[in-house]
Chain A
Amino acid sequence: MHPCQVDVPNPVDAGDIAVLTSHLTKTFESPSGTVTALDDLNIQVRRGEFICIVGPSGCGKTTLLRIMAGLEKQTSGRIYVHRSSNNRPLTAMVFQSDSIFPWMTVERNVGYGLQMQGVPKKQREETVKKLLAMTGLTAFAQSYPHQLSGGMKQRVNVARAFAADPEILLMDEPFGLLDEQNRLILQKELMDIWQESQKTTVFITHSVDEALVLGDRLLVMTAQPGKVKRIIDIDLERPRDIVSLRGDRRFIELYSEVWHLLSEEVRRSRARQE
């Protein structure tokens, strides 16, 4: 069972909350003792917002996302996800590494979520066609992943998640392994698709820059154990031009604010290790 599906009443049915975590805690057993990855985490994701999460390495951002995706179970606490329709999956994840199936054509990869939900072929093909066009993959519909470049593969990854039409879109550093040029292009494309779908998105990244360019809000996490350090409203107007934005005065202010918070955490985690 999906860990997000919990008993009624669901606190996220009212208001404009899409995801709510309540006292979410996750611990791991390791040879050197118990490691607390997430510690009493209480966050709210608003419906239709694009929230970015940054934090020092090992702060549990990926663990949080994996719990939301139903790939891992929390140790204690609850997580609620708003469900608007019964035939939509709760989440769809865009993974960081090469996660598109090498044995499927681009078209079948993009339609995978729909196929798993039992969407009729005709309807599936329509959705896939639309997403291929939006991500510039139409010409590659019948190609296999090994024929694609890294950027193209990540486009398939993104298109697959959007095609599944989930309640919440989860992205785990989807552009982290791409080169700078591809990253900028894919950020821009993601913004365009997202703007059209207005899907609630939780986006994890290492890059403060990327978080500010894409997000409505930015959640800065503390070093291990992961807690919320600060939530920052990114009050930059949309639609954003991802290139000229980097020269924007407000952008630079936000950037140094976030960096300040982050470097505190990095220093703190380093001090503890020593």
Chain B
Amino acid sequence: MSDYVRKTSGRGFQDEVVVLEDVQETGPSLVAKRTLFRLITFLSPSLLLVLWEVLARLNVIDVRLFSRPSLIFQTLFPLMSSGELFRHAWISVQRIILGFLCGAVPGVVLGLSMGLFPPVRASLMPLVASTFPIPKLAIMPLILIVFGLGEASKVFTIAIGVFYLVLINSMTGVLSIDPIFLDVAKNFGASRRQFYLTVALPGSLPMIFAGLKLGMGTALLLIVAAELSAAQAGVGWMVWRAYDMFDIERMFSALITLAVMGYLLSIALDALEKKIIPWKER
């Protein structure tokens, strides 16, 4: 931010000269500020951990319920070095990816069809609109009855959650393509198939990806619920198992793993988006 200061030369009222002088900003440079902010970003959670530890040791926080960072790390590191944590994480990740694909692929296909063909939209929209608001957790017992206690029920739970979000976003994506692009395609003689491939699909990709990202959030939520019942492994199962055993440190270890998993999966989606939508402004 540069500021201006007026200086007047004292030559009387008749012909006063006004000089506008650029004043250099004092204080820390932009680079220094950015470093400072980065430091704060790193320090504030660390500070919270320290506070947690101190308060727990002072018995202000009940260690039986909330544990404390040092105890959690003492549990977390052996879990990591023995590979147990990674085994559970990998099982959950596999379920998420499989469920994600099983939900996203039909979601994109149906969503695009609904966007492109008004008769399809007219016939499917009531179904979608009436079943979408049902909380996916509420139909879990039904899913268990239909798909049994094996992998299928867990994959399906995630798939159904992802499906709706991707479907609705894909449909909206097609419908929000600027009509001028339809004119261009028509004027340049695009066939139906060419229109789908050169306009409808790429035009709705940004919205489809927005749906995929929302879907990923839901998938993480649902994996924990899905692994509540009839699971033998997985990070969600670890949380519930720790609850049964009242092993708070183990529970926190699982929660941290979930956070890291979610973070890595969203990074993976971002990378995929960059690869598939290189034209998007960032």
Contact = CB atoms under 8 A, between A and B. Distances in A.
Interface of A: 69-71, 89, 91-93, 95, 97-99, 101-104, 112-113, 115-117, 144-146, 160, 164
B116 to A, nearest CB: 17
A113 B186 CA distance: 10
Nearest to A143: B279
B188 A89 contact: yes
B181 interface: yes
Interface in B197-244: 198-199, 202-203, 205
Given A97-B180, A99-B181, A103-B279, A92 B198 contact: no
A112 B205 CA distance: 19
B261 interface: no
A101 B204 CA distance: 12
B190 interface: yes
Main secondary structure of the interface of B (DSSP, over half): helix
Interface in B166-194: 180-181, 183-191, 194
Interface string B79-93: 000000000000000
B278 interface: yes
B16 interface: no
Nearest to B194: A116
Most buried by A among B184, B202, B279: B184
B281 interface: yes
Interface residues of B, number: 21
Lowest 7 CB-CB distances: which A-B pairs, in order? Answer: A103-B202, A144-B279, A113-B188, A99-B180, A93-B187, A116-B188, A116-B190
B189 A113 contact: yes
B277 to A, nearest CB: 8
Most buried by A among B183, B187, B202: B187
Contact of B202 (A71, A95, A101, A112): A101
A209 to B, nearest CB: 26
A89 B189 CA distance: 8
Given A101-B198, A116-B189, A95 B205 contact: no
A95 B186 CA distance: 13
Contacts of B180: 95, 97-99
A73 to B, nearest CB: 12
Contacts of A92: 187-188
B47 to A, nearest CB: 41
A177 to B, nearest CB: 13
13 contacts: A89-B189, A92-B188, A93-B183, A93-B187, A97-B180, A101-B181, A104-B198, A104-B202, A113-B189, A116-B190, A116-B191, A116-B194, A160-B188
Given A101-B181, A144-B278, A146-B279, 14 more contacts: A69-B183, A89-B189, A91-B187, A93-B184, A95-B183, A99-B180, A101-B198, A101-B199, A103-B202, A104-B279, A112-B184, A113-B189, A117-B189, A164-B188
Query: Which of A89, A104, A115, A116 counts the most B-chain CB atoms under 10 A from its CB?
Result: A116
A71 B183 CA distance: 7
Given A103-B202, A144-B278, A144-B279, A112 B188 contact: yes
B183 to A, nearest CB: 5
A71 B187 contact: yes
Given A103-B205, A112-B198, A69 B189 contact: no
A224 to B, nearest CB: 23
A89 B279 CA distance: 29
A77 to B, nearest CB: 21
A70 B188 contact: no
Given A112-B198, A117-B189, A95 B279 contact: no
B185 to A, nearest CB: 8
B187 A146 contact: no
B184 A99 contact: yes
Interface in B241-266: none
Nearest to A89: B189
Contacts of A160: 188
> Which of A71, A93, A97, A101 has most chain B Cβ within 10 Å?
A101
A69 B279 contact: no
Contacts of A99: 180-181, 183-184
A169 to B, nearest CB: 11
Contacts of B185: 116
Given A95-B180, A103-B279, A144-B279, A69 B198 contact: no
B205 to A, nearest CB: 7
